[in-house]
Amino acid sequence: MLLTTKIYIAGHNGMVGSAIWRALESKGYTNLIGKSSHELDLRDMLAVSDFFEKEKPEVVIDAAARVGGILANNNYPYQFLMENMQIQNNLIDTSLKFDVQKFIFLGSSCIYPKMAPQPLKEEYLLTGPLEPTNEWYAIAKITGVKACESIRKQFGKDYISLMPTNLYGPYDNFDLNTSHVLPAMIRKFHEAKEQSTVDGQQSAVTLWGSGTPMREFLFVEDLADAVVFALENQFQDNLYNVGTGVDLTIKELAELIQKTVGHNGEIIWDSSKPDGTPRKLMDVSKMEAAGWRAKVSLEEGIQRTYAWFLQNQETFKQVKI
């Protein structure tokens, strides 16, 4: 891979895409392309085709998606299914038509069955029912994985899929209506810390579920590093998990974030709200065998994310409640 190779990063303004952009720039790549959703609607096949005709990218990294937490997935199932399929199908099919030799498709650990054995191996794909609270997004991502696999099989092109575990970090979404669990907790604990009661005790924080499900979290800059690694190396297979291989309970996560933020109030668990999948830990042995492993600890990653949140809370993806 030459440093002058023309690389198109779809979704370059998002948390994942912007981290990939920074990682590539730091390694000296000089020919990066990005278009905002206002400049290029990836759901529009003709617009995508015109863009490829004009720019002729040599490599495409698909970090574009409609994303959200349990609430957003439950409330907008059609959009999560259809818009994600439109985005990825247009990018994958147009890349094939314009002879793009390398395509990196980013998905999610939610593609695996809800009750699959732990840790999740790549071969567990399509072996059981999905988690109902995010099956629409998962089905869309599964079709993307299979599209890349079929191109690899039929046309011999280097199209690969990376499935990251739960991501967090700078440029995350902190809107409580659409965010994932970790950034939502950061915002909730921060706002409760700012709202002291009469006796000086900080406001209580109410969190969804029982706190017992186990989750794995990957700092977004580690994922960006994995993408660069995949860009610069040829992988034998089409599907690779990207994670830390370590998980913790949601309760433990809450306590770690509470400590990082400096909140001293009560945590209330609302067990009337859904927990989601009981456990979701990735088997990352294939990626490690290829030569890559995560570097940033969860504690360090949360500290860096909270520092970014404090610097940017008035300007980025915040909806006041």
Written as six digits, the tokens of 41 are 């609607």
The residue from 8, 29, 112, 137 that is catalytic is 137
Q: Write down the pLDDT at residue 68.
A: 73
Strand partners, 166: 217
Q: Are the C-beta atoms of 7 and 101 separated by less than 8 Å?
A: no
| CATH code for the part of the protein at 7-192+202-312 | 3.40.50.720
Written as six digits, the tokens of 135 are 């099956």
Q: Packing angle between helix 181-193 and helix 250-261, nearest 10 degrees?
A: 40
Domain boundaries, given as residue ranges, for the chain = 7-192+202-312
How, if at all, do strands 7-10 and 32-33 pair?
parallel
Nearest CA among 186, 195, 191 for reference residue 309: 186
Q: Write down the pLDDT at residue 317.
A: 53
Please give the annotated binding residues for NADP(+), written as ranges. Answer: 11-17, 106-109, 141, 164-167, 180
Q: Write down the pLDDT at residue 315.
A: 67
CA distance 74 to 310: 30
**Is 137 annotated as catalytic?**
yes
Between CA 161 and CA 142, with CA 70 as vertex, the angle to 5 degrees is 25
**DSSP for 226-264, written as a single string:** HHHHHHHS--SSSEEEES-S--EEHHHHHHHHHHHHT--
Q: Write down the pLDDT at residue 318.
A: 46
CA distance 51 to 155: 23
Looking up tokens 């950034």 gives 183
CA distance 275 to 210: 7
Q: Are the C-beta atoms of 22 and 64 separated by less than 8 Å?
A: no
pLDDT along the chain (321 residues), means of 10: 97 96 98 96 98 98 86 86 97 98 95 93 97 91 98 97 96 84 94 79 91 96 98 96 97 98 95 84 97 98 97 64 31
CA distance 238 to 198: 58
CA distance 257 to 217: 13
How, if at all, do strands 214-215 and 248-249 pair?
antiparallel
Neighbours of 245 (CB within 10 A): 18
Q: Are the C-beta atoms of 183 and 305 separated by less than 8 Å?
A: yes
Q: Are the C-beta atoms of 84 and 141 separated by less than 8 Å?
A: yes
Q: Write down the pLDDT at residue 252.
A: 98
* Integer-rounded Cα radius of gyration of the chain: 20
Q: Write down the pLDDT at residue 198.
A: 62
Q: Write down the pLDDT at residue 219.
A: 98
Q: Are the C-beta atoms of 29 and 259 separated by less than 8 Å?
A: no
Q: Are the C-beta atoms of 20 and 228 separated by less than 8 Å?
A: yes
Looking up tokens 């980025």 gives 316
